[in-house]
Amino acid sequence: MTDFVMPQIDPALLPPSVRYGLSDTLPWLGRMRAANPVLRDPFGMHHVFTYAEVQQALADPGTFSSDPSHVMPQAAAELSAGMLAVMDPPAHTKVRRIASAAFTPKRVKDLNDRIAQIAEELLDAAPGDEFDFVTAFSQYLPLVVVSELLGIPKTDLPQFIAWTEALLQVTVPNPNDAAEMDAAMQAAMFGPLVQMQQYMAGLCAELRANPRDGFISDLLQAEVDGERLADHEAVNLAIQLLQAGHITSASVLANFVLRLGEHPGVEARLRADPALIPAAVDEALRFTPPVPRLQRFTTTDTELGGVAIPAKSMVFLSLLSANHDEKVFANPDAFDIDRGAARNLTFGHGIHYCFGAALAKTEAKFGIEALLRRYSSIEVLTGEPVEFYESELFTPKSVRVRVRRA
């Protein structure tokens, strides 16, 4: 057996740590867009930094597949059957159509009053005038909303918080490193995702036997062209909605408050005119997408941005970099709520546009409205630097705030 030899890497091509934010990362991404818009690293993985090429790959699921079984063991891929984010047509088409029959725009709209009520309840319970915004509010608002949507008992929420913490520690393994791949496989087979699957499987079995009002019951009963979801597909789709509706939305809220701390003029404008909040949410989503990059796997030899990419290659599409591409967004590293950020790629593009995008935006809108209504000022305390998870999600671990009640 040949020992694995770590290849030499030019330090200038290594991304900076995001542990304390994006102050080093955004300039580095700018250099990558200029010099290496599509970069092949020494491990044979490709990294795509420019908006045009990221959008091109997202629009071509036939070439840039979402299915990890192209490069990873089939057993790992089977654990994600039914998760829209890692499926290709025709299976993706079937699952999305059935899911859309249950998760309608009306269902999201009907949640508006409840989201606002949950936000007020969480602020009622906030511990004094100084607290951790993450643990008191941004982590719980979307979790309570999506748990009620899915029918998860409130007493089980601490367990989901623990699973989330574990998932935020997960990083993408190097497929050329046998030890890393084995560790990733073990995590997939026995880690928090499997524990969540076991929990949701029990809930789905209960609801299939005793249907009641709610999304999962509707999902299990939903039918398109005579087809329904298999139990494991329903379980994994519910988990994906739980993850997207919880972790993603929690990140959006926490990062939004950080932007307000950096731009007090924006906070003043939003207080004066709450109708600007949706545009501010869009800009926050562009500026700090909670999922900074997506994985794709090539099904055939192809070319992107003039760079040849062999079949069965792992390709990372940087949504963060695409959202800061100066060819698309003027002065992209500035937080500007007037820019009109509809072109951002935060929720993807094409057939994989995020299933829960409307819910995430709705939660952010009502969460921010409640904060600005309840507090006359929100100060982000800067005594300790804000620390972020160094994972496949960009979200702060803690945001200490001092508030003044209105």
Q: How confident is the model at residue 75 (pLDDT cuts 50, 70, 90)?
A: very low
Q: Residues 18-48: pLDDT tens digits?
A: 999 999 999 999 999 999 999 999 889 999 9
Is a pLDDT exceeding 60 seen at residue 188?
Answer: no
Q: Give the global pTM.
A: 0.89
3-state secondary structure of 112: helix
Q: Residues 229-239: pLDDT tens digits?
A: 887 888 888 88
Q: Residues 256-290: pLDDT tens digits?
A: 999 999 999 999 999 999 999 999 999 999 999 99
Is the model more confident about 195 or about 399? 399
pLDDT given at position 182: 61
Q: How confident is the model at residue 89 (pLDDT cuts 50, 70, 90)?
A: confident
Cα atoms in the 13 Å half-sphere on the side-chain side of 336: 13
Contact (Cβ atoms closer than 8 angstroms) between residue 67 and residue 89: no
pLDDT given at position 1: 44
* Residue 186 φ/ψ region, left for φ over 0, alpha for ψ in the -120 to 50 degree band, beta for the rest: alpha
Round to whole Å and give the CA distance between 37 and 51: 9
Residue type for position 283? E
Q: What pairing do the DSSP bridges indicate for beta strands 130-132 and 375-380?
A: unpaired
Q: What pairing do the DSSP bridges indicate for beta strands 46-48 and 314-318?
A: parallel
Residue type for position 237? L
Q: Cα separations (Å) of 323 from 236, 308, 316, 318, 394?
A: 29, 24, 15, 9, 14
Contact (Cβ atoms closer than 8 angstroms) between residue 135 and residue 126: no
